[in-house]
Chains A and B, each alone.
Chain A
Amino acid sequence: MSRILVPCHVKGTVALQVGDVRTSQGRPGVLVIDVTFPSVAPFELQEITFKNYYTAFLSIRVRQHTSAHTPAKWVTCLRDYCLMPDPHSEEGAQEYISLFKHQMLCDMARVLELRLILRQPSPLWLSFTVEELQIYQQGPKSPSMTFPKWLSHPVPCEQPALLCEGLPDPSRVSSEVQQMWALTEMIRASHTSARIGRFDVDGCYDLNLLSYT
C-alpha cells in the first residue's frame, strides 16, 4: 500500500543516567530520542523505518491528539522490541528495521509526538543509536479512473470494404501483427537476469592496470 513520508524533526538523544555523566564510570545504557512533527497536523502513523546501530531494545511512546480539552497523554505503543537477540554480539546490530501500525499496542491515529527509548544493557559497545529514522503515514488510495466514453461504449463493428484480389485478408494480417506485437511485449516485459557471458568489449580485452575505487 502506498505511504507518504512525514517530515519530522528528530531531537538530539538524551542519555538517562543516575548521577553525573562526566564523573561516573560507566556509559549510559538508556537513550531517549524525541521526534516531533512541527509542520504537520496530527496524522495516522503507518510505518516507522530506521537503521539500527547497536541498540538492543526499543520502546516507543506516543502522544496523541484528543478531541476533548483533556491534555494529550503519553502512551506506550511498543514495549521492549528486541533488535539484538544477544546484546553482547553483533547479530542484528546494523540491520534495517520496519515497524508497522499493526505491531503497535495502541491505535496510532492523530499522532502528535513520538518518543523512542533505546536500551543497550551490554557495556561492550561505546555508543548506540538508531539512524535514518523515517516516519510514514498512509497514502491516499489510488483514485478511481473515469473511462472515456468511446472506450466504455465501443462502436459496433463496421463492414470491411472489399479489396482487390491478390491482397491478403486484412483481418488475418491484423491478427498476425497483433500476435507478433504481443510476443515482443512479452519478451520485453519478462526481462531475465541471465547474463550474456562476454567479458570483453568488442573482442578487445587489452587492459589498463586494475583500478582502486
Chain B
Amino acid sequence: MLQEESDLSLIIAQIVQKLKGSNLYSQLERQAWASLQRPEIKLESLKEDIKEFFKISGWEKKLQNAVYSELSVFPLPSHPAAPPEHLKEPLVYMRKAQGSWEKRILKSLNSMCTELSIPLARKRPVGEQKELLNKWNEMGTDEPDLSLFRPVYAPKDFLEVLINLRNPNYENGDSLSFRTHLGLIQVPLKVKDIPELKECFVELGLNIGQLGIDDSTQVPPELFENEHVRIGQKVLAEQDSAAAQQYIRQGSPTALRAELWALILNISSQPEDVLYYEQLKTNVIQHDLLVDSLIYKDVKLTASNDDYYFVFEDYLYQVLLCFSRDTSVLSHFAYNSASPPKSYIRGKLGLEEYAVFYPPNGVIPFHGFSMYVAPLCFLYHEPSKLYQIFREMYVRFFFRLHSISSHPSGIVSLCLLFETLLQTYLPQLFYHLREIGAQPLRISFKWMVRAFSGYLATDQLLLLWDRILGYNSLEILAVLAAAVFAFRAVNLMEVTSLAAAEKENYLRELKSMYLGDIVKIHGLFWLFKIVS
C-alpha cells in the first residue's frame, strides 16, 4: 500500500539521519576505507564485496543493533501536520498539566535560590577546583551543611498532582455513577486488561521457565537453569541486541547480566565514551550548580541510609553530578512530555543567543532520584560504563516515571493499570481499603515511581529490571504492585487505617520478599490463571 511504503521510507530516513552523527558511522566509514586493501574486495563488485566484508567481520551486526536501538527508543515519525508538542504528548490537557507542574518546580527552585542567596550556577575558583579533583573518588567523605536545602519535590507531591488530573472534555460529575473511577486516577486512559497482558507477557506464563524461580535450590539445574545459561552465552557471543532482549524476558544469569544489559542498551565502551565522561567530569569541576547540593542531599537521605547501597555512595556522586552536565540528554525531550528549564545569562534576559538550559541536562532531581542509579552499581564498576548505562536507562525508561503523559508506560497509565487490576480481581480488598481511607495507590505509588528500587532486595530488583528491558515497557511495575497486594490480601483485609496499612510489617518487609514466592504461591501472573 502506498501509505505504508511512504511511512517506511520516512522511518528509514529518520534513522539514517540519526545514525549519521554517531560514532558508528565514522567507524564504518573507516572500516570501509581500510577494507579496500583486502584482496577479496574487487572494484567491479565493490558494493557487494564491502557488504559481505561487513557481514563477516561483525560490523553489520553492530549496525543492526544500532538500528534496533533507534527503533526501540524513538517513537515513529508522526503525521506531517502534527506539531512537535504532539510528539511529546498528544493530549492537550496533559501537556498543560505537565506545564503547570513544571512551573511549580521552577518556582520552588527559584525561591530556594533567593532564600538561601545561593546562585544557580557558579564558576569554581581554581583552588576549589583542585581540591575537588583530588577528592573526586571520595566525595562521600565530605559533610557539607545541607540542612537548609530541601528536595524540590517528593513522590507524594507528584501523586497529588496526578490525583487532580482531569480531562475537561470528560464527564467528571460529582455524583457516583458508572462513569466514576473508584480509584485515585480519574482520567480514562487505555490500559491493558488481563487477556492483553497475558498476550503481551507470554514468556512469563507459568508453563515457561524463569530465573528467580526455576533456579532455586530445590529445582535440579538440568531442568532449566543450565540450558538457559548456555543460551545466554551463545546470545552474548553473537552480539545480537534483539536476541538478547528476547532472551532476558526469562531472566538473566547473574554472571551474564552486565554484558546482556550493555548489549540490549547498545552500549559499548569506546575510547570516545570514556573521553566524553572525562569531559563531563571537567565540567563538574569547573562549575558548581545548586542542583549539586540537591543531589548530595538526596544521596545522603536515601542511598546512604540503605543497607544495600551505602557502599556505593561515591559512585552515585560521580554518576549523578556528571549526569547533570550532559547536554546529550536534552535530545530525549523530543519524546518526553516534560521540557527542560530555561534561563538566560545574567544581564542578557530575553536574548535568545544567551539562553541556556538549567541544569545542562534539563532534569531536576527529586527525592529518591539517586535510587535509579544505586542498583546499577552492583553490575558496573567502571565509572564511565556505569554512567552510560544509567543515562541510557534514564532516557528509555525512568523519565516516564516522573512526568505526566498518556504513554502506556507513563506513570499515569501505570497507576491506572494498578488500580484497574486491583478493582477487577480483588474487589473486596479494594473496597475495604477504600472504605478505611487507605486507597491502595497511596501505598504502591512510591514503589512504582522508584521502579521498586530500595523496596525490593537487589537480586530480586535486578530480575525485575531484566523484564523491563526485555519487554521495553514499565507495565510490569504495575502488575507486580497488584500482585504484592494480592499476596498479602488476607492480612490487608484486617487493617483498619491507612497508617496501619502502611506500617504493615508485611508491606514494609517487601525487602524480604522473593519474587519467586509471589510467583510460586500466588503466581505473579495468578491473574492470568484466573482468566485462563
Which residues of A does B touch, CB under 8 Å? 49, 51, 53-54, 85-86, 88-91, 93-98, 100, 102, 123-128, 132, 134, 190, 192-201, 204-213
B125 proximal to A (CB < 8 A): no
Task: Considering the complex, give the chain A residue whose CB is closest to the CB of B344.
Answer: A208
Task: Considering the complex, give the chain B residue whose CB is closest to the CB of A213.
Answer: B342
How far is B91's CA from A98's CA once the two chains are assembled, in angstroms? Answer: 18
CB distance from A145 to the nearest CB of B (A): 25
Question: A132 — which chain B residues lie within 8 A by C-beta?
Answer: 81
Give a binary string over B61-90; 1 marks a CB under 8 Å from any A CB, 0 the rest: 000000000000000001101100010001
Give a binary string over B15-53; 1 marks a CB under 8 Å from any A CB, 0 the rest: 001101110000000000000000000000000000000
Known A-B contacts A94-B91, A211-B344; A195 and B171 likewise in contact (beta carbons under 8 Å): no
Question: A102 — which chain B residues lie within 8 A by C-beta?
Answer: 1-2
User: Which one of A49, A126, A134, A190 contacts B169 once the chains associate, using CB atoms below 8 Å?
Assistant: A126
* Contact assessment for B171 and A200 in the assembled complex, using a CB-CB cutoff below 8 Å: no
B200 proximal to A (CB < 8 A): no
User: Which one of A95, A125, A209 contacts B171 once the chains associate, using CB atoms below 8 Å?
Assistant: A125
Task: Considering the complex, give the chain B residue whose CB is closest to the CB of A200.
Answer: B356
B92 proximal to A (CB < 8 A): yes
Known A-B contacts A126-B171, A208-B349, A210-B358; A97 and B327 likewise in contact (beta carbons under 8 Å): no
Question: B258 — which chain A residues lie within 8 A by C-beta?
Answer: none
Question: A98 — which chain B residues lie within 8 A by C-beta?
Answer: 79, 81
Give a binary string over B403-422; 1 marks a CB under 8 Å from any A CB, 0 the rest: 00010000000000000000
B3 proximal to A (CB < 8 A): yes
CB distance from B476 to the nearest CB of A (A): 21
B135 proximal to A (CB < 8 A): no
* Contact assessment for A124 and B342 in the assembled complex, using a CB-CB cutoff below 8 Å: no
* Contact assessment for B328 and A124 in the assembled complex, using a CB-CB cutoff below 8 Å: no
CB distance from A89 to the nearest CB of B (A): 4
How far is B358's CA from A208's CA once the two chains are assembled, in angstroms? Answer: 10
* Contact assessment for A197 and B356 in the assembled complex, using a CB-CB cutoff below 8 Å: no
* Contact assessment for B187 and A211 in the assembled complex, using a CB-CB cutoff below 8 Å: no
CB distance from A200 to the nearest CB of B (A): 7
Question: A200 — which chain B residues lie within 8 A by C-beta?
Answer: 287, 356
* Contact assessment for B354 and A201 in the assembled complex, using a CB-CB cutoff below 8 Å: yes
* Contact assessment for A86 and B120 in the assembled complex, using a CB-CB cutoff below 8 Å: no
How far is B327's CA from A134's CA once the two chains are assembled, in angstroms? Answer: 39
Question: A213 — which chain B residues lie within 8 A by C-beta?
Answer: 342
Q: Pick from B103-111, B141-149, B262-270, B438-446 the stretch touching chain A.
A: B103-111
* Contact assessment for B345 and A193 in the assembled complex, using a CB-CB cutoff below 8 Å: no
Q: A190-B20, A192-B20, A199-B357 are in contact. List 12 more A-B contacts (CB 8 A).
A: A49-B81, A53-B169, A89-B188, A96-B79, A193-B21, A194-B21, A195-B327, A195-B331, A199-B356, A205-B123, A210-B342, A211-B106
Question: A125 — which chain B residues lie within 8 A by C-beta?
Answer: 169-171
* Contact assessment for B328 and A195 in the assembled complex, using a CB-CB cutoff below 8 Å: yes
Known A-B contacts A49-B81, A193-B21, A209-B113; A91 and B346 likewise in contact (beta carbons under 8 Å): no
Question: A91 — which chain B residues lie within 8 A by C-beta?
Answer: 189-190
> How many residue pairs, one in A and one in B, have C-beta atoms under 8 Å apart?
137
How far is B167's CA from A153's CA once the two chains are assembled, in angstroms? Answer: 68
User: Which one of B2, B90, B342 contacts A211 once the chains associate, using CB atoms below 8 Å?
Assistant: B342
* Contact assessment for B358 and A207 in the assembled complex, using a CB-CB cutoff below 8 Å: yes
B115 proximal to A (CB < 8 A): no
* Contact assessment for B123 and A206 in the assembled complex, using a CB-CB cutoff below 8 Å: yes
User: Which one of B78, B103, B344 contacts A207 once the chains associate, using CB atoms below 8 Å?
Assistant: B344
Known A-B contacts A89-B190, A96-B81, A100-B3; A197 and B123 likewise in contact (beta carbons under 8 Å): no
Question: A197 — which chain B residues lie within 8 A by C-beta?
Answer: 276, 279, 327-328
**CB-defined A-B contacts under 8 Å, sample of 9:** A89-B189, A96-B79, A125-B170, A126-B168, A193-B21, A199-B283, A206-B345, A210-B343, A211-B106
Question: B10 — which chain A residues lie within 8 A by C-beta?
Answer: none
Known A-B contacts A96-B79, A100-B2, A194-B21; A208 and B343 likewise in contact (beta carbons under 8 Å): yes
* Contact assessment for A209 and B330 in the assembled complex, using a CB-CB cutoff below 8 Å: no
How far is B78's CA from A49's CA once the two chains are assembled, in angstroms? Answer: 13
CB distance from A127 to the nearest CB of B (A): 6
Known A-B contacts A86-B190, A124-B188; A212 and B343 likewise in contact (beta carbons under 8 Å): no
B96 proximal to A (CB < 8 A): no
Task: Considering the complex, give the chain B residue whose CB is closest to the CB of A127.
Answer: B169
B353 proximal to A (CB < 8 A): yes
Question: B357 — which chain A residues lie within 8 A by C-beta?
Answer: 199
* Contact assessment for A93 and B91 in the assembled complex, using a CB-CB cutoff below 8 Å: yes
Closest 6 CB pairs of A and B: A192-B21, A194-B21, A199-B360, A96-B79, A89-B190, A91-B190
Known A-B contacts A206-B121, A211-B342; A195 and B2 likewise in contact (beta carbons under 8 Å): no
How far is B330's CA from A95's CA once the two chains are assembled, in angstroms? Answer: 25
Task: Considering the complex, give the chain B residue whose CB is closest to the CB of A125.
Answer: B169
B220 proximal to A (CB < 8 A): no
How far is B107's CA from A91's CA once the two chains are assembled, in angstroms? Answer: 33
Question: B86 — which chain A residues lie within 8 A by C-beta?
Answer: 96
Known A-B contacts A193-B17, A209-B120; A201 and B190 likewise in contact (beta carbons under 8 Å): no
Question: A93 — which chain B residues lie within 8 A by C-beta?
Answer: 91
Known A-B contacts A126-B169, A205-B356; A90 and B190 likewise in contact (beta carbons under 8 Å): yes
Task: Considering the complex, give the chain A residue whose CB is closest to the CB of B325.
Answer: A199
B427 proximal to A (CB < 8 A): no
* Contact assessment for B354 and A124 in the assembled complex, using a CB-CB cutoff below 8 Å: no
* Contact assessment for A94 and B358 in the assembled complex, using a CB-CB cutoff below 8 Å: no
B114 proximal to A (CB < 8 A): yes
How far is B331's CA from A93's CA once the two chains are assembled, in angstroms? Answer: 27
CB distance from B152 to the nearest CB of A (A): 11
B55 proximal to A (CB < 8 A): no
CB distance from B394 to the nearest CB of A (A): 17
How far is B90's CA from A93's CA once the two chains are assembled, in angstroms? Answer: 9
Question: B92 — which chain A residues lie within 8 A by C-beta?
Answer: 94
B195 proximal to A (CB < 8 A): no
Question: A195 — which chain B residues lie within 8 A by C-beta?
Answer: 327-328, 330-331
Question: A90 — which chain B residues lie within 8 A by C-beta?
Answer: 91, 167, 187-190, 406
CB distance from B327 to the nearest CB of A (A): 5
Task: Considering the complex, give the chain B residue whose CB is closest to the CB of A190.
Answer: B20
CB distance from B64 to the nearest CB of A (A): 20
B516 proximal to A (CB < 8 A): no
Known A-B contacts A89-B190, A201-B356; A211 and B107 likewise in contact (beta carbons under 8 Å): no
How far is B110's CA from A51's CA once the two chains are assembled, in angstroms? Answer: 38
* Contact assessment for B345 and A207 in the assembled complex, using a CB-CB cutoff below 8 Å: yes
* Contact assessment for A96 and B78 in the assembled complex, using a CB-CB cutoff below 8 Å: yes
CB distance from B206 to the nearest CB of A (A): 29
Known A-B contacts A132-B81, A206-B345; A194 and B110 likewise in contact (beta carbons under 8 Å): no
* Contact assessment for B90 and A94 in the assembled complex, using a CB-CB cutoff below 8 Å: yes
Give a binary string over B384-418; 1 marks a CB under 8 Å from any A CB, 0 the rest: 00000000000000000000001000000000000
B341 proximal to A (CB < 8 A): yes
